[in-house]
Structure 1
């Protein structure tokens, strides 16, 4: 019996490429949707993947890319008009008669969050769930391990690891574990229809805990470096991170500090869905430590030093001004996930004991204790 073709959007991204690789390794035919044909898409083609270039905001291009497929993984684009992409995806899915969609969402998704992208994630989750006759599974991880480890070069060369989140903890999942959960839902959609999964790592860790692990991995002393948000925004802009991505990220850091990523973590979803234990932070960190930028050499150290110096000369984004200029819809009373009754109820803090525990973590007024 021939296996149905599975459509994967965002196929050259960190999660999307892991989804493609997992499906290929399991012998499933894949049609990868990419923004442009380049070296990354060529690597997918060499794996035997069918690659098509399509605009996720164009319903006609999406429909052409979707024709002949039966199931799809949807990775929302980092764009202020993401909701239009999702609407185009819904229209195309109905025309193409998809049988299942697995959507990548966010743990913080809620209707009143100050982040436009996070509010749109909440809307998309509901929108996809209302498509008649289409199985729908939500994968909503919190802070990925990648969010911390993308700056591993500073730890490797200078023994410093930026800390934005104080002593709050998270159980960060790997890109690969997130992808494995998505793939399990794609290959058995009936079993996972209507389910929401939150992949996490196996244990809760603070940044201080992470630096101890990095010290073992890198074989040098690594210390947490408290980084004020304005400095981080300058550093992120110097690294090419967009204003839109940072406009939401600044709020995610505040939710992190308030314990939103600790709530209900760690989960057993990775094991329950895939039959494999989730990767621990040390395993993930060793992969990042093997990246070229983290390898110890004079050239790499000088490059990291130049990058560090460049931060001082990089202006920070005016994120509030950016949102006004882009005419983002701004709420009169935005609420962080950790302070939202809707979010708390939707995410399992709905009985007296759980609610009391969450208030003890955060303080009655939302200030972390």
Structure 2
């Protein structure tokens, strides 16, 4: 039995879709009505509820772990429950920033602590460290559709962002194959791209020119504060500064080595999500 957490999110949803139907799959979700698992089961569960974790992990051999609440202790509770339930292998989604020199922001430190927890817990583990998701550009969808504008920090700084579908494919390999235990897989796209290049690609797909508007740091901070606590905003801005310094431009061939298929370029991801940018959400 494989347990999948985060199945309503960008990566978890793809993991559920890609897992072979011959494998017993269980999905843990706070709202089971939001998830459909053909041939599998869905159980109600929450990282903050140890009783629900115990129930979700019964009979599970391998688990896909994706958490997002920084500093909430979700990984600690999940790993504790997994050990008690006899789970043998946890595949954890972390972040490539963990290995960036000088990355000491709140989010990166949280991910480092989560990795160390796995290493020391006694379970078999695999860590996936993706670069930023290409799907982050969906935050531009409204301004692209309504104004023909992309607004972002540092338009010429490059990021080897990765298609979430490639992250999910790597996760499925780790969940269904032997030989991934005790390994860290850093996942990137095939080449680094800038926000200016992404803007041009979206314009080409939409058949109309798009304008890029570089945000001053103060304005970017104000926009982020509308959605995130101050400490998270500081971490995101620190990440943008590291990207501007070139820390996120490195490319790995990990997706090809794991799946036998090269990682998708941004142009492919954008073409598959064109509709999101062509109309108001």
Could you tell me the TM-score, scaled by structure 2's length? 0.91
CA distances 1:296-327 after superposition (whole Å, capped 9, x unpaired): 4xxx3xx8xxxxxxxxxxxxxxxxxxxxxxxx
Q: Residue in 1 aligned with 2:202?
A: 214
Q: Which has the higher strand share?
A: 2
Q: Residue in 2 aligned with 1:19?
A: 15
Q: Residue in 2 aligned with 1:270?
A: 255
CA distances 1:193-220 after superposition (whole Å, capped 9, x unpaired): 1111121111121122212211211111
The answer as to whether partners of 1:78 and 1:245 remain within 8 angstroms in 2 is: no
- State how far apart, in whole Å, the 2-side matches of 1:48 and 1:153 are: 36
Matches within 5 A, 1:174-253: 174-188=163-177, 190-236=178-224, 241-243=227-229, 245-253=232-240
Q: Residue in 1 aligned with 2:2?
A: 6
Residue 255 (1) aligns with residue 242 (2): yes
The answer as to whether partners of 1:164 and 1:228 remain within 8 angstroms in 2 is: yes
Aligned-residue CA RMSD in angstroms? 2.2
Q: Residue in 2 aligned with 1:77?
A: 68
Point out where structure 2 has 5 or more consecutive residues left out of the alignment. none
Equivalent pairs counted in the alignment come to 279
Could you tell me the TM-score, scaled by structure 1's length? 0.70
The answer as to whether partners of 2:25 and 2:41 remain within 8 angstroms in 1 is: yes
- State how far apart, in whole Å, the 2-side matches of 1:271 and 1:90 are: 30
Q: Residue in 2 aligned with 1:329?
A: none
Provide the secondary structure at the position in 2 that maps to 1:28: coil
Provide the secondary structure at the position in 1 that maps to 2:18: helix
Structure number with greater Rg is 1
Q: Residue in 1 aligned with 2:119?
A: 129
- State how far apart, in whole Å, the 1-side matches of 2:138 and 2:244 are: 18
- State how far apart, in whole Å, the 1-side matches of 2:272 and 2:248 are: 23
- Aligned in 2, Cα 1:112/1:78: closer, same or farther, shift over 3 Å? farther
Residue 158 (1) aligns with residue 147 (2): yes
Task: State the Cα distance separating 1:127 from its structure 2 match.
Answer: 1.3
Task: State the Cα distance separating 1:138 from its structure 2 match.
Answer: 0.7
The answer as to whether partners of 1:149 and 1:285 remain within 8 angstroms in 2 is: no
- State how far apart, in whole Å, the 2-side matches of 1:230 and 1:53 are: 41
Task: State the Cα distance separating 1:79 from its structure 2 match.
Answer: 3.3
Provide the secondary structure at the position in 2 that maps to 1:192: coil
Provide the secondary structure at the position in 2 that maps to 1:68: coil
- State how far apart, in whole Å, the 1-side matches of 2:67 and 2:198 are: 29
Task: State the Cα distance separating 1:135 from its structure 2 match.
Answer: 2.1
- Aligned in 2, Cα 1:30/1:223: closer, same or farther, shift over 3 Å? same
Task: State the Cα distance separating 1:97 from its structure 2 match.
Answer: 1.1
Q: Residue in 2 aligned with 1:102?
A: 91
The answer as to whether partners of 1:177 and 1:279 remain within 8 angstroms in 2 is: yes
Q: Residue in 2 aligned with 1:32?
A: 27
Provide the secondary structure at the position in 2 that maps to 1:198: strand
Q: Residue in 2 aligned with 1:356?
A: none
CA distances 1:255-301 after superposition (whole Å, capped 9, x unpaired): 21121111xx221111100111211101111232223xx334xxx3x
- Aligned in 2, Cα 1:203/1:181: closer, same or farther, shift over 3 Å? same
Q: Residue in 2 aligned with 1:350?
A: none
Point out where structure 1 has 5 or more consecutive residues left out of the alignment. 304-369
The answer as to whether partners of 2:106 and 2:232 remain within 8 angstroms in 1 is: no
The answer as to whether partners of 1:59 and 1:91 remain within 8 angstroms in 2 is: no
Q: Residue in 2 aligned with 1:295?
A: 278
- Aligned in 2, Cα 1:281/1:88: closer, same or farther, shift over 3 Å? same
Moved more, 98-107 or 241-250: 241-250
